[in-house]
Amino acid sequence: MSQDLPIHAVKGYVDWVLEGLLDVCGDYERKYGRNVVQLEVVRERFQKEFFSIDAIGRSPFLRQCFLKPYGYSGDFRTIDMIYRNRPAPDGVVTHVERFAYDAPACRAVRNRKEFLKEKVREEKCMKRELSILNLASGPAREIAELAEEGTLDENCRVINIDHEPEAHDYAMGLLNGVTKQTGIDYIVEDAYRFSLRKDNLDRYGAQDLILCAGLFDYLDDAWAVRVLRALFALLREDGILIVGNFSHENPSRTLMEWFADWKLIHRDEETFAGLFRKAGITDMVIEKESLGVNLFGVAGKGSTVKPFPDDAA
């Protein structure tokens, strides 16, 4: 097919087929989604057939999502594939991956990186010396890009924490060629252990800015509150905590769950803000990236952010 049709026609056909499949999957879920067991059985059967399609099975991105080589969805390689936004140069596979990378969820992940970078720039403009802790840092591409542009200089200290050792090796590789990197550290530790430690302040020190972009998409409410308390305890009095979570209005949810077996814990603004209140954090505001798919809870200890209305409001 790809040899007989112009590129734009092939892309149009691929988009038409994939959009049609998404419609079928979405319709089925709306009709039968209450039967969770049946839904999972049907979804697994669909995925088996879906990945038997040559152009799907050859997609490095979809294969990484579906096979979960690190045992979980959204690993550091998957996230950095989304950041780089470069479909595999492989005929029809190129158009399959372009369809995926153009989905609102993937665009929101790229927006998330830019959102965090801008927050770091804002803080650096106000503080010559800056201490940053980045929990569940993954590829930490935002840190590498900030170092490369000079925002993160010798007066900055960044601690990247991730449970996956290979994520740190990968992230350090992104710093190749960046000269001012002496203040960037990588520590292997999982968020659960981090949240239970009593000596985090001694281990990591007080922080001006704490980032946690994608972890809460996988945490239930109880663990999310524990992690929030642990992170908030590390803030300086004028520090800022920024935590991300996918909104329940994510229009790519069907694509992620059916095409990539990638399931998240989505939250609306009130539910997300409620986690902060349960953690004893009242000085916070909800922000969004431009698509509104990713929510950000931005919190401080003083009058650094506008408080979110409480339950009585």
Q: Which tens digits make up the pLDDT trace of 84-108?
A: 999 999 999 999 999 999 999 999 9
Same domain, residue pair 114 and 75 = no
Instruction: Please report whether residue 215 resides in a domain.
Output: yes
40 against 180, higher pLDDT: 40
Same domain, residue pair 73 and 111 = no
Same domain, residue pair 246 and 136 = yes
Same domain, residue pair 161 and 27 = no
Nearest to 221 by CA among 176, 270, 149, 184: 270
Query: What tokens appear for 66 in the block?
Result: 């579906």
Same domain, residue pair 173 and 64 = no
Residue with tokens 């401080």: 300
pLDDT exceeds 80 at position 311 = no
pLDDT exceeds 60 at position 197 = yes
Domain span at residue 26?
7-102
Predicted pLDDT at 175: 86
Instruction: Please report whether residue 2 resides in a domain.
Output: no
Which CA distances in Å does 130 have to 58, 154, 195, 201, 307? 44, 10, 23, 16, 24
Average pLDDT over residues 190-214: 96
Instruction: Please report whether residue 155 resides in a domain.
Output: yes
Instruction: Count up the domains in the chain and report the number.
Output: 2
pLDDT exceeds 60 at position 304 = no
Q: What is the pTM of this model?
A: 0.92
154 against 294, higher pLDDT: 294
Instruction: Please report whether residue 307 resides in a domain.
Output: no
Query: What tokens appear for 272 in the block?
Result: 């997300």
pLDDT band at 181 (very low <50, low <70, confident <90, very high): low
Same domain, residue pair 32 and 167 = no
Predicted pLDDT at 307: 46
CATH of the domain at 179: 3.40.50.150
Asked whether 62 and 295 are in contact (CB, 8 A), the reply is no
Same domain, residue pair 32 and 135 = no
User: Which of 102, 134, 159 finishes a domain?
Assistant: 102
Instruction: Please report whether residue 311 resides in a domain.
Output: no
**CA–CA dist 114, 145 (Å, integer):** 10
Same domain, residue pair 83 and 17 = yes
Instruction: Please report whether residue 206 resides in a domain.
Output: yes
Same domain, residue pair 43 and 130 = no
pLDDT exceeds 80 at position 303 = no
Predicted pLDDT at 124: 95
pLDDT exceeds 60 at position 310 = no
User: Which of 102, 118, 144 finishes a domain?
Assistant: 102
Query: What tokens appear for 127 in the block?
Result: 């503080």
pLDDT band at 4 (very low <50, low <70, confident <90, very high): low
Predicted pLDDT at 312: 34
pLDDT band at 5 (very low <50, low <70, confident <90, very high): low
Instruction: Please report whether residue 309 resides in a domain.
Output: no
Same domain, residue pair 81 and 130 = no
pLDDT exceeds 70 at position 313 = no
Nearest to 96 by CA among 69, 144, 57: 57
* pLDDT mean across residues, the chain: 93
Instruction: Please report whether residue 211 resides in a domain.
Output: yes
With H, G, I as helix, E, B as strand and everything else as coil, classify residue 210: strand
**CA–CA dist 269, 17 (Å, integer):** 34
Same domain, residue pair 285 and 174 = yes
User: Which of 40, 68, 102 finishes a domain?
Assistant: 102
Query: What tokens appear for 200 in the block?
Result: 């985090």
Same domain, residue pair 25 and 137 = no
Q: Which tens digits make up the pLDDT trace of 119-175?
A: 999 999 999 999 999 999 999 999 999 999 999 999 999 999 999 999 999 999 998
Asked whether 255 and 103 are in contact (CB, 8 A), the reply is yes
